Amino acid sequence: MKSHSVALPLALAAGLLAPSVHAQNPDPTDIRACTAIESDAQRLACYDHSTGRVNLPVAQKRVDTETATPGIFSRDRKETTGTVEPNTEVAKPMSLLDSRWELTSESKLGTFNIRGYKPVYVLPVFATSNQNKQPSSPNPDNNVPQSEQLDNVEAKFQFSVKTKVWQGIFGNAGDLWVGYTQSSRWQVYNAEQSRPFRETDYEPEAMLVFDTNYHLFGWSGRMFGIGIDHQSNGRDNPQSRSWNRVIANVGFERNGWTVMIRPWWRIPESRRTDDNPDISNYMGRGEVQIVHEWHSQEFGLMLRDSFRGGSRQHGAVKFSWSFPLAGNLRGYAEVFKGYGESLIDYNHNATYAGVGISLLEWY
């Protein structure tokens, strides 16, 4: 039995939410980033800033300096005797990566502000034609002895947040972030088995992120990150699964497109206690995440591969689609094909499809 305690969610809860954008021209990406802010005052200020409301004439923005709330954007305020003068600077709309990772000096918001990370969604319907009813592993201690009575249709949901814990490392060149992602597959329609949670994966991580500024084949290189990632399902043998990785993140952008290249190296474990010694040949050694925004919709494509030949060559592909429904509520659908939809299924090949609602998409 392994201990898979996860302490990061408690640390993340200590932060106060902060605005996610710093752009004066209206831009759907910037406005959407405001929705992740729970503080009413800061969220309103974020919307005002994104839509250009900070540039209203002085007569419409006259305030009492003794009762005025300090602006959350340092360049928005020029104090005079009794008025707040309009900001005459014109900033470019913020890119998707900058709005989520605070890359430029204008977008820095300080530390311990809870932010969205990976997609946050609820899928009441998540179905497969090939449910993994008897998980296995090369380690004899991790082979389920008999077939489980599982439905092919279940529910899935994911929660993911991050926060910056150190801003301005190496002469303000980098920031240190910590993140936490939890995803669950729930046999909610399986009344005969008391509706169990089939699999829940826990993933805390820490990443050092740097702002970059270079161009390659028409793409803008916007960020580079290097971090440590732990992922486990917190279960006893024979269903225990886990691994630890060092992951690099290289981000590119171009006209509504975002590409994240994520190679990783698995930190070796003792073969005697390793739950899944061949996991890299199935869950892969790297992936590419492609995101495209078009007419308020977001399309995502994940490609993952083991980068090995012969019997060790395996991979996966996932397509996701997010679209507006009403207000901040968005529809979400995903289709997955290949190995490793979850940790318990790391060496199980299947097709999965789900549909539901989303509160936050990629990055």
Is the separation of the CB atoms in 237 and 267 below 8 Å? Answer: no
> What is the Cα–Cα distance from 258 to 97, expressed in whole angstroms?
8
Q: For 223, list phi and psi in degrees, rounded to 5.
A: -155, 155
DSSP H helical ranges for 25-86: 28-34, 40-50
Cβ neighbours around 16 below 10 Å, total: 13
The amino acid at residue 258 is T
Say whether 232 is catalytic.
Answer: yes
Q: For 49, list phi and psi in degrees, rounded to 5.
A: -70, -40
Is the separation of the CB atoms in 173 and 210 below 8 Å? Answer: yes
The DSSP line for 248-261 is EEEEEEETTEEEEE
> What is the Cα–Cα distance from 41 to 73, expressed in whole angstroms?
13
Q: Which of 50, 232, 306, 358 is catalytic?
A: 232
Is the separation of the CB atoms in 165 and 176 below 8 Å? Answer: yes
Q: Apex CA 272: angle with CA 266 and CA 274, to 5°?
A: 35
> What is the Cα–Cα distance from 55 to 295, expressed in whole angstroms?
26
Rg (CA), the chain: 23
Say whether 4 is catalytic.
Answer: no
Which residues form the catalytic set? 230, 232
